[in-house]
Chains A and B, each alone.
Chain A
Amino acid sequence: MSGNEAVARAAWEAGVRVAAAYPGTPSTEILEALAGYPDLYAEWSVNEKVSLEIAIGASMMGSRTICAMKHVGLNVASDALMTLTLTGAAGGLVIAIADDVGMSSSQNEQDSRHWGRFAHVPILEPADAQESHAMTKLAFELSEQFETPVLVRLTSRICHVKGVVTTGERIAHEPAGFTKDPQRWVMVPAHARNRIPLMFEREEKLRAAAETSELNLLDDGGDRTLGFVTSGPAYLHVREAFPDAPILKLGFSCPLPLERIKAFAGSVETLVVVEESEPLMELELRAAGLPLVGKDLLPRQGELTPEVLERALAPLTGAKLAPAVKEPPTLVSGVFPRPPTLCVACPHLGVYFSLSRIKKLVITGDIGCYTLGAGHPWNALDSTVCMGASLPMALGADKGRGEIDADKRMVAVIGDSTFMHMGMQGLLDIAYNRGNVTVLLLDNRTVGMTGGQENPGSGRDLYGNEAPRVDFAKLAEAIGVPSDRVHVVDPYELPTLFKLLREETRKDGPSIIITNQPCVLTDNYEPRVALKVEPELCTGCSNCLDVGCPAISVTRSETVVKPSGKEKELKFVTIETAACTGCNLCQKTCAPDAIVPAAERLR
């Protein structure tokens, strides 16, 4: 099973009663897997802060609980975490935090192990799926023993790697029950002040536990010229690259077992600290006066795979470098890029087609599939920062513009799930402060980017059961957007959408345009009769190519000289009928009516 599935299995075995998360790559599958186990409650929360607060509530009742999130999720949830460390946990509380090392699908690469130091909470670092299972179970024990939340730090290379895992059975864990204790749970200054020394005491006890923990193990080797201190999947990479080197592998890496490492350092010639991404252990060890090699040679970003390690540490190993690592041959650099793009018939296509054709817009974007609008052929996004940032940034751009940008119009583009996660507050702020912003709420009734999870806009919960469905138009009105400035449109109705966008962006004051067609990858989408191009009718105008649908491709190009003497590049197209689902967007851009229904639907 995958690392994510192993975490879920372990949580179930540990007797978890409540599990909560907001989807985010690479952590999404933890909650999806937990939903398949009996005898517990699991939910998609609207954001990570909410999911952690749910876990805190469950813990307060004495229940074992887990919440899972990606690295940036804990930024959102950190407000809760930083005080949770003072109240501590009652029922075992575990946060599975997944770092996207290598950035396969994130806006940044950050090291969640910082939170262990910042919040003075312990961190366990598994290296693979089997260890994820064992350490997650142990995390619940630790959490209850020391009354602390425990972070289990995963990376993409754990979450999505499948390996062999030996599992166990569930041991029910009856909640101890709620105990009224305002000194502990009501964090007003007078109470919180008394909890701070307890937090530091706990940290020292945890440090002592880390010193003797079986999770910190010596994997010895005969060649003592280099000795490695490492944690997480980096351990596997080090072992592979240096089969004969002694390795002190830290599974319980925070608080750092300093004495253990000092003893190890004394047994090797050169100490090398290998960490993905930040030099956290390294800094503590340097501060303790240990001579070592770390980020002075090793990269500070990306995965530290065996070949990366071999290359980076070559100055130390010299001739001992393992078989020469192959350079990519020059012919490889010639292969075209294959950037991700919006799907065939995606309801966002018409939106970006329209945005790309309206001048003088500043378009702030958000986190989701629609971030791809920044790419070819639309180039219709000017910013992406974090969940929900599109709305406040548009307001800030409106209020902060100088004379030079007086003619610019501000547009914020956000998806339904991101809007509910952290966008609503931005809309409230725009309405309250009367910003000149047109908000495009792309409601495709799912969390598209992470693979189509349910949310309060889909009308279903994590289990697929019916749930109340948010009415975005009513919500926008209630928040303060004037009712005549709240629009719901079908994004496949290109002329209507385009006209509305142009009108709304010309007016002052807040407005919102909500698109209402489902993601094409979900069961809500109904394909229609596919289209084809009549080659003799195509004039090569390339309007349809600006829609950006991947089912449309160029068959031949031709340069013609117009009567005005100007050169024009004509591009004649075809539609891959087998891929087309008949959304008809391209048809609406085709003046000569060269795009027609295909006779039959092909497989």
Chain B
Amino acid sequence: MLTAVRELQVALLAVLLLGGFMTKVWRVLRTRSLAAAMDPAALFPLRLRGPMVAAMGAIEFGLGVALIVTARRFGTVNQGLPATVVRVCAVLFFLVAMAALNETRQRRPEAGCGCFGEFSDTPIGWRTITRSGVLATAAALTIGLPPLRMPSSPITAELWLAVLAFELSLLAFLSPELGEVLVRLGYSEPCEVRSLPAGRTLTALHSSSQWRRYASQISAAAPADVWREGCWRFVVYPGVARDRRVDIVFAVYLQARRPPIRVAVLDADTDEILGRPELAAAGRN
């Protein structure tokens, strides 16, 4: 059992280190600025932050690749010295990260760890620090491990999978980044932040049955006021109904096709509501 746990760690650590490196590089490329990836170096003076971030990325990449390269036969030369050196370096890396995260949390409580680029904007908490501790422990477990082999039997493979599932669950629990990733996977732009020109709203309104119903009362070609609040755009037209000056207010839901539209008619002088058919119908239901 313990051997299965130990054997899994090398691959897991390599994937995490290379993942951290690639998300940082992606952030820098996307924003075209090294400054965007400087969160992990928040403790350093400004002039040192750029070199520190570059060095951190190089260490992550180097350790990730070295863990993979030394996992099998290459790591066994000189009685396993290359593999041991790389794995001890990985332990040191995660221990230093743990201490740095704790220090950053004290000094810059608002800063994120930047461990996985733009996914790591959440302020550093105990989960992030514990994750570094867990990874340092995982790296320590790999010291002295013989070269990795494929599972020798189906039972061993199942054991590997069970350990992997448990460890991934633990890391997911300790990773505030996971929530951000899940949100991005299932994202569709909410109507409140969707940009929809007023012209399209007016086109939808003018082709609606509500417009045809009130068109005879409207006395101006252009609306007196148009404004938006979240998912609704409001359009106000002056009009005349039963010899009274009225304001006819349309609320048009901001969706591309067949938007719901609501109407109210108010006395322009007294603001008395003269007609509001949708709400009246809803009240009867």
**A and B are partners in one complex rather than unrelated chains:** no
Q: Which residues of B contact A (CB under 8 A)?
A: none
